[in-house]
């Protein structure tokens, strides 16, 4: 199973849009995908048509030890399952402060879940785990980073796009060193891309140069690449969440659907980073 956290501590850069539509694209191509919503705002949960208010339990209950993943996992489409979030999850950041090993709860829960599922006669593993992270580098994000092997970083190409990147890269490197030596930044995906503008093209090449200049000094992230697929700004992508539908249900012929299909293809073709 490949496991990928969609991470950027900035809000509004395209994390949730990418987590949901990349998951849906992978599912449509036959991969079995499990999406975990770790953002208390529950945007990914809503985007997939689930109302957090109707769910009896959420990732809050999983991280606080009150429910196993299996209890909150719901099927959101063919080949696609989701573990939903709830605003309660915001409290977990505080409630877990005194808990020993609080950064590796999700990893443990996933291991328990896999062990339980393996015993079922009709067991089929997931091919992809995708985690939608909140816009912070707190305990929820650390749980995501401790539990996955790859990070995808969505960036919005404006002039401050690289601002804050060093903090994020430091966090990835620290987690790789202390909690999860398999963790790698797989790549950067440019979202909300205004094709044809000079700024977008410049930021794209700045990002490529930044990683190319690292000369393997930082094993956790110096091999990161910039995905060739740019996710263009597309109004359909902004409209789809309010219908509780992925872009493939809402507007399958849009540029947004085409871009996420291509990103999924690129990911499927990319060699696993280690």
Give the Cα separation of 216 and 160 in Å (integer).
25
In sequence order, the 6+-apart residues with CB closer than 8 A to the CB of 96 are 63, 64, 102, 105, 139
CB of 2 to ligand ADP, least distance (A): 21
Q: For the chain, what is the total number of helices (H) and then of strands (E)?
A: 12, 8
Query: Within 42-81, which residues bind Mg ion (CB under 5 A)?
Result: 43
Which one of the spans 11-19, 51-59, 73-81, 161-169 is the region binding ligand ADP (CB under 6 A)?
Answer: 11-19
In the window 190-209, what residues touch ligand ADP (CB under 6 A)? 191-192
- Can you read off the two tokens belonging to residue 219? 């094993």
Q: How far is the CB of 79 from Mg ion (least distance, A)?
A: 22
Of 43 and 233, nearer to Mg ion (C-beta) is 43
Binder to ligand ADP among 3, 7, 9, 16 (CB under 6 A)?
Answer: 16
Q: Does 16 bind Mg ion (CB under 5 A)?
A: yes
What residue 237 binds from ligand ADP, Mg ion, none (CB within 5 to 8 A, per partner kind)? ligand ADP
Structure tokens at 44: 């990914």
Q: Which does 89 bind (CB under 5 to 8 A by kind): ligand ADP, Mg ion, none?
A: none
Per-residue burial over 35-44, b = 16 or more CB atoms within 10 Å of its CB, e = otherwise: bbbbbbbbbb
Closest C-alpha among 130, 135, 132 to residue 8:
135
Which of 229, 234, 246, 254 touches ligand ADP (CB under 6 A)?
A: 234
Is residue 107 within the footprint of ligand ADP (CB under 6 A)? no
With binding defined as CB under 6 A, does residue 13 bind ligand ADP?
yes
Query: CB neighbours of 116 closer than 8 A, spacing ≥ 6?
Result: 68, 70
């Amino acid at each position: 199973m490949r496991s990928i956290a969609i991470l950027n501590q900035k809000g509004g850069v395209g994390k949730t849009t990418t987590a949901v539509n990349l998951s849906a694209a992978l599912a449509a191509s036959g991969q079995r995908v499990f999406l975990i919503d770790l953002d208390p705002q529950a945007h990914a949960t809503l985007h997939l048509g689930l109302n957090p208010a109707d769910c009896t339990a959420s990732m809050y209950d999983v991280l606080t030890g009150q429910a196993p993943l299996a209890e909150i996992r719901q099927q959101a489409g063919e080949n696609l399952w989701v573990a939903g979030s709830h605003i309660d999850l915001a409290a977990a950041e505080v409630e877990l402060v005194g808990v020993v090993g609080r950064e590796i709860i999700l990893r443990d829960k996933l291991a328990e879940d896999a062990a339980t599922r393996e015993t079922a006669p009709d067991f089929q593993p997931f091919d992809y785990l995708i985690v939608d992270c909140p816009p912070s580098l707190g305990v929820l994000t650390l749980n995501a980073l401790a539990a996955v092997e790859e990070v995808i970083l969505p960036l919005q190409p404006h002039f401050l796009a690289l601002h804050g990147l060093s903090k994020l890269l430091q966090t990835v490197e620290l987690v790789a060193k202390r909690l999860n030596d398999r963790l790698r930044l797989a790549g950067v995906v440019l979202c909300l891309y205004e094709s044809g503008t000079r700024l977008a093209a410049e930021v794209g090449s700045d990002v490529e140069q930044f990683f190319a200049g690292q000369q393997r000094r930082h094993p956790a992230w110096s091999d990161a690449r910039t995905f060739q697929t740019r996710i263009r700004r597309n109004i359909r992508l902004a409209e789809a969440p309010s219908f509780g539908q992925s872009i493939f249900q809402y507007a399958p012929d849009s540029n947004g659907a085409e871009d996420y299909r291509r990103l999924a293809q690129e990911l499927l073709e990319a060699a696993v980073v280690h």
